[in-house]
Amino acid sequence: MSKEHTEKRTVYSPEGEAIEVDPLKDYFCEDLPEVHKKSSIAVVENFRNWARSRSLWVLGFGTGCGAIEMRPLMTPKFDAYRYGIQWRPTPRQADVFVISGYLSVKTLKRVIRTYEQMQGPKYVMALGSCTINGGMYWDSYNTINRLDYYLPVDVYVAGCMPRPESLLAGFDQLKKIIREGRGEGYNVYAEKFEWYKSNQKKIIKDWDMPDYNW
């Protein structure tokens, strides 16, 4: 893949003026993520958590093997729609990122970019045993072993792969966590940003994105 899109170039406006553009700085914002403050009134915070847990929109990105057991959830037999769970095609409209299985280094770069484009509050659910300790690809040179060193995880669902009923139980657990106020993955990411970034940059060798992809 060529890196021409990251170098400085000259762009012409409709009137014919020449503008110098440095893509990594000018097209992205340079702020780092901030910690979301909670409301000081307990009733308001409880209401917000209750509302967030009742409508979880999932991003449609099947990263690995587990994606094949996400499709039956949309059919009438297992029916995730009655819980308010929908699949959305774009990260700007999604709340939950379901990482379904192993992640290779190439996919991890795209997953990081997609995760940082989602708007907070956002949660990560990890499926399968490949995210816990590497699973059956533990000695492979291209798959990661522990997901929580690169992204903050809220719920793990074990299995290889988990059945649709286990996925629904996982969503139930996530709703409980959110309602008790413990769904703080995105705040942990903002606080320990340097640590996560150094782990990510250690394995992704050709880094041609800005540090925070908002």
Partner 1 sequence: MKEIINKIEKLYPISDFKQQNDKTALLTVEQDKAVDLLIYMQKFEGFKHLAILTAVDWIENNQFQLSYIINNPELKMDLILRVFIDREKAEMTSIHNLWEQAATYQRELKEMFGINFPNSPRVDKPFILEGWDGLPPYRRDFDTKKYSEDTYFPREGRTKNNPVEYMKQKLYPDE
Partner 2 sequence: MSKLFNIKEDRSLFPEKNEHGKIDIDLSSHKYLKMWHGPQHPGITGNMSLEITLLGDEVMDCETHVGYLHRGFEKLMERRKYIQCFPIVCRVSVPEPDFNEYCFAAAMEELAGIEIPETAKWLRTLVLEMARLASYLMWIGGQAGAFGQGIIGQWTNYLRDSMLDRFEELTGGRVYHMYIIPGGVRGLLPAGFKQRMEENLKFIEQMMQDVDKVMFNNAVFKKRSVDMGIIEKDWIYKFGITGPNARAAGIPLDVRKDNPYLAYPELDFETITASHSDIYNRADLRRKDLLLSIDLIRQIMAKMPDGGEIRAETPNVLHWKVPKGETYSKAECTRGEYGYYMVADGTEYPRRINVRGPSYTHAVSLLEKMIINCNLADIAGLMVSLHTYPPEIER
User: 207 with 201: CB under 8 angstroms?
Assistant: yes
Rounded to the nearest whole angstrom, what is the least distance from the CB of residue 103 to partner 1 in the complex? Answer: 10
- Is 90 or 140 the residue whose CB approaches partner 1 more closely? 140
Q: Establish if 8 lies at the interface with partner 2 (CB under 8 A).
A: no
| Residues numbered 41-100 forming contacts with partner 2, rule: CB under 8 A | 59-65, 68-69, 71-72, 74-77, 87, 89, 91
Within a 10 A sphere around the Cβ of 80, how many other Cβ atoms?
Answer: 20
Query: Which residues have a Cβ under 8 Å from the Cβ of 104 and sit 6 or more positions away?
Result: 142, 143, 144
Rounded to the nearest whole angstrom, what is the least distance from the CB of residue 184 to partner 2 in the complex? Answer: 25
Nearest in space to 204 (alpha carbons), one of 147, 121, 144: 144
Q: Establish if 110 lies at the interface with partner 2 (CB under 8 A).
A: yes
Rounded to the nearest whole angstrom, what is the least distance from the CB of residue 58 to partner 2 in the complex? Answer: 11
Instruction: List residues binding partner 1 (CB under 8 A).
Output: 1, 105-106, 109, 132-134, 138-146, 149, 199, 202-206
Report the residue from 1, 18, 41, 43 that binds partner 2 according to the rule CB under 8 A: 1
Q: How far is CA 19 from the centre of its chain?
A: 35
- Rounded distance between C-alpha atoms, residue 98 and residue 70, angstroms: 10
Rounded to the nearest whole angstrom, what is the least distance from the CB of residue 88 to partner 2 in the complex? Answer: 9
User: 37 with 45: CB under 8 angstroms?
Assistant: no
**Pairing status of strand 96-100 against strand 123-127:** parallel
User: 197 with 109: CB under 8 angstroms?
Assistant: no
Q: Which option in partner 2, partner 1, none does residue 210 bind, with CB closer than 5 to 8 A by kind? A: none
Interface ranges with partner 2 (CB under 8 A): 1, 59-65, 68-69, 71-72, 74-77, 87, 89, 91, 102, 104, 106-107, 110, 114, 136-137, 139-143, 160-161, 163
